[in-house]
Amino acid sequence: MGRCLRLASFSEDSGSARRTFLSAPMSECHQEIARWIRPLEVPARIDAAGNLRAVYPAAQAHAPRLLIGSHLDTVPNAGAYDGVLGVVLAVALLEELRGRRLPFAIEVIGFSEEEGVRFGAPFIGSRALVGRLDKELLGVVDSQGVSVQKAIEEFGLNPKEISRAALKNDALGYVEFHIEQGPVLEKLNLPLAAVEAIAGQSRLEFTFLGHANHAGTTPMHLRHDAIAGAAEWISAVERGAQEVSGLVATVGKIEARPGATNVIAGEARLALDVRHSSDEVRTRAVDNLIRQAREIAARRGLSVQENTLLSQHAVAMDPFLVGEIEQAIIKTGCKPLRMVSGAGHDAMIIAEKVPSAMIFLRTPGGVSHDPAESVLQDDVEKAIMCGLHLLDQLASSPEFYKRTNRA
Ligand SMILES: [Zn+2]
């Protein structure tokens, strides 16, 4: 936990933590981690996408590898544990092996970019590992007009070598420790969970159109109030999500026009976010909400249009690894829990090529993306124990080696 706080001190802002893709503090962060692992005789390198990579050797040469990691970039005004804890725990696991070699190598990965803060495009680091840091993404520019490609060059790396950052055929699996960033584990009084899926996500924009008119002279029965229609639909969104297990649906933004106290709104524009681990459940929920919006609009003499901005499918974690994590949690003396991650993570990208799974740690108060973000020391200790059990289980599992990866 001290190491997490130390890394949080490498920041672009004074007084708060912000470390975006290939900023100067990211370099300090890399150097600090390299210092930690030097006594283990594990050299750290930075690949062309700015990811920190360090391979702890296997008992024999040419053995396959298990990947363990998370991201090193942060949001503005960040806490100390989101992402960073997963990398620090990977280093701690290498230390706890105390020189013991396993039948597989362990590659620690500190992803350069997950949050999407600098370029508005998330997962730049993990996309390089699955071969998806392409020309289009390299051309995306930040608020200063600096492209991803230029940022890589300015950091002293060579964009031409990005293809060499991609995973080879020797990756057996990817495991990511991450704080839950939500209230579920705390509510259940559990320290750890195995993540079995990362939820799919739909984002839509709805526009209710009515007639703007005078708030004093238009009787109630002669109105076509866009905000009132939108409000009825927002209640339907909340009710609909409450009726389906695991479904979350949010209207997080509403804009009304003309937007004056004494004018009935002629237009209300809303943003809808819907998530579920089943794509079928999610798309059915979205279809229902669209139908309800049309019914409500028709009954009130309004019209409604919707526009889909994002429809991202759910990503299942690898059932074998999830089962092994669950066993490791039990061996640590904790009650196991399987849960769905409502937020996206690097594991979702790496899962395209390599069997992947995640371990969540309880997040006090569910608070994240805030300086108040924290973890409990006892939970971190249990996470290390769980990780060591997992390594032992995988080391003695013939099934783990039989599994050919999809890289
Ligand atoms: Zn994160």
Q: Which two tokens stand for residue 340?
A: 């769905």
Q: Hey, what amino acid is at 333?
A: G
The DSSP line for 59-84 is SSTT--EEEEEEE----TTB-S-TTH
Between the CA of 313 and the centroid of ligand 1 the distance, in Å, is: 19
pLDDT of residue 407: 41
Average pLDDT of 163-184?
97
Between the CA of 82 and the centroid of ligand 1 the distance, in Å, is: 5
pLDDT of residue 393: 98
Between the CA of 114 and the centroid of ligand 1 the distance, in Å, is: 7
The radius of gyration of the chain's CA atoms, rounded to the nearest angstrom, is 24
pLDDT of residue 404: 55
Between the CA of 362 and the centroid of ligand 1 the distance, in Å, is: 14
What confidence category does residue 29 fall into, taking pLDDT thresholds of 50, 70 and 90? very high
Strands 192-198 and 338-341: parallel
Mean pLDDT score of the chain, rounded to an integer?
Answer: 96
Q: Hey, what amino acid is at 157?
A: L
Q: Are 260 and 227 in contact (CB under 8 A)?
A: no
What confidence category does residue 55 fall into, taking pLDDT thresholds of 50, 70 and 90? very high
pLDDT of residue 58: 96
Between the CA of 83 and the centroid of ligand 1 the distance, in Å, is: 4
Q: Are 388 and 332 in contact (CB under 8 A)?
A: no
Between the CA of 175 and the centroid of ligand 1 the distance, in Å, is: 14
Between the CA of 72 and the centroid of ligand 1 the distance, in Å, is: 9
Which whole-number Å values give the CA distances from 402 to 64, 68, 103, 368, in the listed order?
11, 19, 13, 38
Between the CA of 226 and the centroid of ligand 1 the distance, in Å, is: 38
Between the CA of 353 and the centroid of ligand 1 the distance, in Å, is: 20
Q: Are 25 and 19 in contact (CB under 8 A)?
A: yes
Which whole-number Å values give the CA distances from 295 to 227, 230, 243, 292, 302, in the listed order?
15, 12, 19, 5, 10
What confidence category does residue 124 fall into, taking pLDDT thresholds of 50, 70 and 90? very high
Exposure of 352 in the CB half-sphere (CA atoms within 13 A): 16
Listed in sequence order, the residues at least 6 apart from 403 whose beta carbon sits closer than 8 Å to its beta carbon are 172, 173, 320, 355
Give the tens place of pLDDT for each residue, 262-288. Answer: 999 999 999 999 999 999 999 999 999
User: What is the spatial distance between Cα 130 and Cα 212, in angstroms, rounded to a whole number?
Assistant: 51
pLDDT of residue 398: 87
pLDDT of residue 406: 44
Give the tens place of pLDDT for each residue, 1-28. Answer: 999 999 999 999 999 999 999 999 999 9
Between the CA of 344 and the centroid of ligand 1 the distance, in Å, is: 8
Question: What angle, rounded to 10 degrees, do the helices at 226-242 and 279-299 form?
Answer: 150
Angle at the Cα of 140 (from 134 to 141), degrees rounded to 5? 150
Between the CA of 162 and the centroid of ligand 1 the distance, in Å, is: 23
Angle at the Cα of 404 (from 325 to 311), degrees rounded to 5? 70
Between the CA of 305 and the centroid of ligand 1 the distance, in Å, is: 34
pLDDT of residue 310: 87
Give the tens place of pLDDT for each residue, 357-406. Answer: 999 999 999 999 999 999 999 999 999 999 999 999 999 998 898 775 44
Give the tens place of pLDDT for each residue, 214-269. Answer: 999 999 999 999 999 999 999 999 999 999 999 999 999 999 999 999 999 999 99
Q: Which two tokens stand for residue 86?
A: 């997963």
- The length of the chain in residues reads 407
Average pLDDT of 180-199?
98
Average pLDDT of 168-187?
97
- For residue 239, the Cα-to-chain-centroid distance in whole angstroms is 27
